[in-house]
Every structure is written in structure tokens, then in C-alpha cells.
Amino acid sequence: MGYKKKEQYDEKATEGLIGNYKHVLDLLGEDSSREGLVKTPERLAKAMQFCTQGYNQDANKIINSAKFHENISEMIVVKDIELYSLCEHHILPFFGKAHIAYIPNGWITGLSKIARVVDVFARRLQVQERLTVQIMNAIKETLNPIGVGVVIEAKHLCMMMRGVQKQNSVTTTSAFDGEFMKNATRSEFLKLISTDLSR
């Protein structure tokens, strides 16, 4: 048998969510018992638990599980990390890319761990500003680097499909620490993430 990933959901939470989502559908003017909607509360209950699974995950633990001693003092940049989150004000998605850089101080982590840290904090109800700082702090606390920088560019559905209905606005947030407080280091990072070396 090939690879099989089993998804697990908290039974009690799922049951409670199903009942509440049924109620929500009816309050919105729908008929929660019609054929197309019968299983929707259950699907939604599972989708929302998936999208908020970060509450049960520990970013520091993930980095510490793959921490290697290495004498590198060059900037390490992981750019274009896909990101999907939910805004805590409207529970509508915001999505985009995270760019992360750090200058090690004797310790590095696996590149995939950096991407997983983004998911840990993105899979919660969030504001983009806090998400940016939380990612930075997790790297700072676990690797104690000489500097760390995080830039996130995202589109917010709560702005695009409701409210001001601005389809093309991208929100950019950033957080810098240590060496990245210096202009030269920060500029190098920003230059690296804005150039496309694959062309």
C-alpha cells in the first residue's frame, strides 16, 4: 500500500461546530437540510479545524527538532513561501508570500522548518502584522541569530470582496531584528527578495 495520510479531527469540537454551522446556514436564509448543504456543516467544521491547526503546534519545537551547528555567517534567505491565513476580524482568507532571512550565529535549521513555522502561525486567526512578528520571534528565540528579517506580502479577501472592494491592493508588512536594523543588511535582503535569479 502506498502513502496514506490520515486526517484527525477532535470529535467533540467537530460535533459542536456542525450544530452551530447548521444554525448559521439557516440564519443566513438557507435551508441547511437541502441536498447540497446536508454535509456542508461537517465539511466546514473540518476545514476550519484544518485552517486553525496552528493553535496545537509549537514553532519553537519544530525548529529545535532540526537545529544544526554550522559556522556560516552569510545571510540565509528563504523567499516566496506560500502563505494562507484567516483574518481575525472577518474570518476571511488572506494569502500571499513570506520572505525570511537570518544571519546564523553558530546554528542553522532545515529550510523546510522555516516554511513550517510560517504555517504554524498562519493557520490561526491572525492579523498580518502579528503574524510577521511571531515568525521573526520564533527564529530569534530558537536560533539566536545575529539578525533576522521577515517580509510578508498578502492580499486580503475582506478588502477585496467586501468593504472597500479593492481588488489589487497588496499589504506588505515587515519585521527586523539585530543586524537587519542596519540599512545595508536590510537593503541586501530586500534586493535579494525582489530580484528573480531564475531568469
- Is 69 one of the catalytic residues? no
Provide the H-helix boundaries in the chain.
Answer: 11-27, 40-51, 59-64, 111-122, 128-143, 157-160, 183-194
- Is 30 one of the catalytic residues? no
User: How many residues make contact with Zn ion (CB under 5 A)?
Assistant: 4
Q: Which is nearer to Zn ion, 32 or 171 (CB)?
A: 171
- Is 51 one of the catalytic residues? no
Chain position carrying cell 512578528: 133
CA distances from 175 to 65, 72, 138, 148, 152 (A): 24, 22, 12, 8, 9
Nearest distance in Å: CB 90, Zn ion: 4
Give 36's DSSP letter.
Answer: G
Site for Zn ion in 52-91 (CB under 5 A): 87, 89-90
User: What character string, x for contact with Zn ion (CB under 5 A) and - otherwise, covers 25-44?
Assistant: --------------------
Nearest distance in Å: CB 134, Zn ion: 18
Q: For residue 156, which amino acid is it?
A: H
Q: What gap in Å lies between CA 124 and CA 93, rounded to an integer?
A: 11
Site for Zn ion in 137-196 (CB under 5 A): 158
Report the residue closest to Zn ion, judged by CB.
Answer: 158
- Is 15 one of the catalytic residues? no
Which one is catalytic: 49, 87, 99, 179? 87
Pairing of strands 107-109, 93-103: unpaired
Which one is catalytic: 51, 153, 158, 188? 158
Q: Are 85 and 126 in contact (CB under 8 A)?
A: yes
| Position 127 contacts Zn ion (CB under 5 A) | no
- Is 23 one of the catalytic residues? no
Nearest distance in Å: CB 158, Zn ion: 3
Kindly calculate the radius of gyration of the chain based on its CA atoms and give it in whole angstroms.
20
Chain position carrying cell 475582506: 158
| CA 51 from centroid of its chain's CA atoms | 10
- Is 99 one of the catalytic residues? no
Which helix or strand (DSSP H or E) is residue 102 part of?
strand 93-103
Nearest distance in Å: CB 111, Zn ion: 31
Q: Which is nearer to Zn ion, 54 or 145 (CB)?
A: 54
Nearest distance in Å: CB 166, Zn ion: 12
Which residues are identified as catalytic? 87-90, 128, 156, 158
Name the residues that contact Zn ion, by CB under 5 A: 87, 89-90, 158
